[in-house]
Amino acid sequence: MADLLKLGVLISGNGSNLQSIIDHIEKGSLKAIINIVISNNTDAYGITRAKKHKIPVVILKNGDLKNKEDFDSELVKTLKDNGIELVILAGFMRILTPVFLKAFPHKIMNIHPALLPSFPGIHGQKQALEYGVKISGCTVHFVDEGVDTGPIIIQSAVQVFDDDTEETLAARILKEEHRIYPQAIQLFAEGKIEIKGRKVLIKNVRSNCHR
């Protein structure tokens, strides 16, 4: 359908964020369509989730191409062939090269399980626990050449409790991820996102910190 934003979702694992995007699309709160899911892991449960909803899946394993740039060129080709307008990283465990970034300028979103710029990289929840913060959360941001450094679109905060484990904190954060990622995509679909340098301005919204 012409008015639906065409998404390509990249996964490596469980795919619960993918599921939440699918659910929001199916209940009509996200005006988008997932044209393709790409996984770099043959065992990713997200593949099963996509197939259940009849979404085409492409598997491109890390070792399939000889270097990172070739891998990213193949990703770009697959996404372009499928008419993708916005790329969604949903637990995709790879750093993208400039080949990819240049092909989709300001059109790649990621979700990170911490309040950036705190605790970038892997194990954001563990880093937060070990540091002893009282509040953590999640961040949807555009992807740039750094690791979790791109302009921030939406953040949501959760409390950290004294008896939290990495698992209990991750579960509390994940619940918020599932809420704000579809919301950020919908804002993009509605053309409400404006990027000014490091800042993302959302039209008609004064604050986009969701607690």
Show which residues are catalytic: 112
Q: Is the peptide bond before 98 cis (omega within 30 degrees of 0)?
A: no
* DSSP-derived 3-state class of residue 45: helix
Nearest to 34 by CA among 10, 12, 14: 10
> Residue 168 Cβ, how far from ligand GRF at the closest point, in Å?
14
Closer residue to ligand GRF in complex, CB, 83/117: 117
Is the sign of the CA dihedral 134, 138, 139, 145 positive or negative?
A: positive
> Residue 66 Cβ, how far from ligand GRF at the closest point, in Å?
27
Closer residue to ligand GRF in complex, CB, 113/182: 113
In the complex, residue closest to ligand GRF by CB = 91
Closer residue to ligand GRF in complex, CB, 88/187: 88
Closer residue to ligand GRF in complex, CB, 66/127: 127
> Residue 170 Cβ, how far from ligand GRF at the closest point, in Å?
7
- Which residues are at the interface with ligand GRF (CB under 6 A)? 13-17, 90-91, 111-113, 174, 177
Each residue of 28-49: b (16+ CB within 10 Å) or e? eebebebbbbbbbbeebbbbeb
Residues contacting 31, CB < 8 A, separation 6+ = 3, 4, 5, 186, 189, 190
> Residue 113 Cβ, how far from ligand GRF at the closest point, in Å?
4
